[in-house]
C-alpha cells in the first residue's frame, strides 16, 4: 500500500498504518513488529485482529468513494471520465492480509491452471505471450500449419460478477472458515458514493454485483472466478511443444494441447482449425451464461495466424449469440498480434504508444 495513495471516506492516510503494522509470516494474520509501537498502531492492530477473527466490518469502512477524473472532451460525456475508487486504508490493509494468506495456500496446492501466469511463481503474463507467439511461429515453420485465435475481453464483466457465484467458486477452491466469512461480510455489505465537483458526496449506494474496484484483493478473487473458463476447451486446443513458460505441461486426457491463455481480464483461445475454434467459443459462451456474465463481443476479435483469411471470413463467429469481428491486429498486453506475427508491426505499435505517452 503506497504512502502516496489518497485516503478513503475515513480520511485516514495509509502512511499511518505502515509504520508498525505487518503480517505474520507463519499464520498470515495481522501482526506487529517487536519494536515499541505507538498507541495508534496497537489499537489499529486490535481492530484488524478482531475483523479477522469475527468477520465483522465496521460500517465506517464499508464504503468506497468514487472520484470521476476528466480524461477527454467534451466533459458532458460521462465516457470521458476515469473513475478512481478510494477505499479506507484500514479495510484495504485487511484485504491485503487475507488475500496474501489465500494466495499462499492456493499456490501451495497448485490451484491455478497452467494457462494463468499472474499468480504463479517465477512466471509473468508477457513470458506466456512470447511463448505462444514463438510456438505459433514454429508450428508454421515446421508443419506449415495455421493457428486460429479468438481474443476475448472480459474487462466489462469485472463489475458484474454475481457475489454468490464468487463465494461458491471460492468454496470449491478450498477457501473456507474465516477467509470466506471475511469476504462474505465484506461483499454483502459494500457501498459506494460519488464525490461531486464541490467536494460533497452523494448518498451511499449498495454494490450488489461486481468486484470491489481499487481493492487489493479483487484481482486475486477475479482470477479464482475465471480459473475454470478453459476446462471444457482443452480438447479443441492446439498441439504445442510446451504449454507453460517454465516447463512442458504434463500429459493429460487431451495430450499436450493448449486451448488458450488467461491474462487478468483477457482470454486468448487457440485452435488448429475453424471448427475447433468455433467449438471453444461455444464453450466459453456457455461458461459465461452459467456465470451470469455478458461478454462485450465488439471488443473481441478472431484472427488466423499464418493462414488463409478466407477460412475465417466464410463463416460467422459468435459469442453469446453476438457477432465477433474478424481483426487483422489485436493488442494483447503490450504486444500487437498480427496474422503474420510481424516484428516490425510490434515495433511500430510500441513506438506509437511511447509517442502517445509523451503527449
By the 10 Å C-beta count (0-12 exposed, 13-18 middle, 19+ buried), 35 is classed as: exposed
Q: Are residues 294 and 288 in contact, defined by beta-carbon separation less than 8 angstroms?
A: yes
Q: What is the CA radius of gyration of the chain?
A: 23
Fold (topology level) of 118-157+225-242+255-358:
Alpha-Beta Plaits (3.30.70)
User: Parallel, antiparallel, or unpaired: how do β-strands 191-194 and 205-206 relate?
Assistant: antiparallel
Lowest mean pLDDT among 29-33, 62-66, 335-339: 29-33
Lowest mean pLDDT among 46-60, 174-188, 214-228: 46-60
| 311: three-class secondary structure by DSSP | helix
Model confidence pLDDT, tens digit, residues 79-126: 788 888 999 988 998 999 999 999 999 989 989 998 886 655 555 667
DSSP annotation string for 218-272: HHHHHHHHHTTTTTTTGGG-EE-S-SSSSSPPPPBTTBSEE-EEEETTEEEEEES
Cell 494468506 sits on residue: 101
DSSP secondary structure code for residue 82 in this structure: E
**C-alpha to C-alpha distance for 151 and 235, rounded to whole angstroms:** 18
Q: Are residues 8 and 190 in contact, defined by beta-carbon separation less than 8 angstroms?
A: no
| 139: three-class secondary structure by DSSP | helix
Orientation angle between helical segments 218-226 and 89-108, nearest 10 degrees: 40
Check residue 245 and give its pLDDT: 41
pTM of the entire structure?
0.83
* Domain assignments of the chain as residue spans, ordered by start: 49-108+161-221, 118-157+225-242+255-358
**C-alpha to C-alpha distance for 295 and 308, rounded to whole angstroms:** 27
Model confidence pLDDT, tens digit, residues 122-158: 556 677 788 888 888 888 988 899 999 999 998 888 8
Residue 248 has pLDDT above 50, yes or no: no
Residue 267: which pLDDT band, with cuts at 50, 70 and 90? very high
Non-local CB neighbours of 299 within 8 Å, separated by 6+ positions: 153, 155, 156
Amino acid at each position: 500500500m503506497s504512502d502516496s495513495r489518497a485516503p478513503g471516506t475515513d480520511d485516514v492516510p495509509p502512511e499511518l498504518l505502515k509504520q508498525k503494522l505487518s503480517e505474520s509470516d507463519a499464520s498470515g494474520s495481522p501482526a506487529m513488529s517487536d519494536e515499541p509501537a505507538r498507541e495508534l498502531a496497537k489499537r489499529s492492530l486490535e481492530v484488524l485482529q478482531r475483523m479477522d477473527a469475527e468477520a465483522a466490518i465496521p460500517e465506517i469502512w464499508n464504503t468506497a468513494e468514487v472520484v470521476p477524473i476528466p480524461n477527454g472532451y467534451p466533459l458532458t460525456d460521462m465516457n470521458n471520465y476515469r473513475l478512481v475508487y478510494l477505499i479506507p486504508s484500514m479495510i484495504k490493509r485487511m484485504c491485503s492480509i487475507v488475500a496474501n494468506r489465500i494466495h499462499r495456500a492456493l499456490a501451495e496446492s497448485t490451484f491455478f491452471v497452467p494457462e494463468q501466469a499472474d499468480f504463479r511463481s517465477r512466471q509473468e503474463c508477457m513470458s506466456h505471450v512470447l511463448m505462444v507467439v514463438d510456438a505459433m511461429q514454429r508450428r508454421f515453420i515446421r508443419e506449415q500449419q495455421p493457428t486460429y485465435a479468438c481474443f476475448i475481453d472480459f474487462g466489462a464483466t469485472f463489475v458484474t460478477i454475481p457475489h454468490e457465484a464468487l463465494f461458491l467458486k471460492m468454496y470449491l477452491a478450498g477457501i473456507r472458515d474465516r477467509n470466506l466469512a471475511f469476504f462474505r461480510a465484506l461483499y454483502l455489505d459494500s457501498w459506494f458514493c460519488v464525490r461531486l465537483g464541490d467536494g460533497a458526496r452523494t448518498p451511499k449506494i449498495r454494490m450488489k454485483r461486481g468486484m470491489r474496484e481499487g481493492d487489493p484483493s479483487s484481482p486475486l478473487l477475479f482470477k479464482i472466478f475465471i480459473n475454470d473458463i478453459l476446462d471444457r476447451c482443452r480438447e479443441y486446443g492446439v498441439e504445442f511443444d510446451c504449454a507453460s513458460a517454465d516447463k512442458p505441461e504434463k500429459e493429460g486426457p487431451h495430450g499436450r494441447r493448449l486451448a488458450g491463455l488467461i491474462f487478468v481480464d483477457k482470454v486468448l483461445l487457440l485452435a488448429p482449425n475453424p471448427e475447433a475454434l468455433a467449438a471453444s467459443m461455444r464453450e466459453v459462451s456457455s461458461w459465461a451464461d452459467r456465470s451470469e456474465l455478458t461478454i462485450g463481443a465488439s471488443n473481441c476479435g478472431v484472427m488466423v495466424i499464418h493462414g488463409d483469411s478466407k477460412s475465417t471470413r466464410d463463416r460467422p463467429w459468435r459469442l453469446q449469440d453476438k457477432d465477433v469481428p474478424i481483426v487483422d491486429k489485436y493488442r494483447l498486453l503490450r504486444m500487437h498480434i498480427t496474422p503474420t506475427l510481424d516484428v516490425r508491426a510490434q515495433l511500430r505499435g510500441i513506438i506509437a504508444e511511447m509517442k502517445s505517452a509523451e503527449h
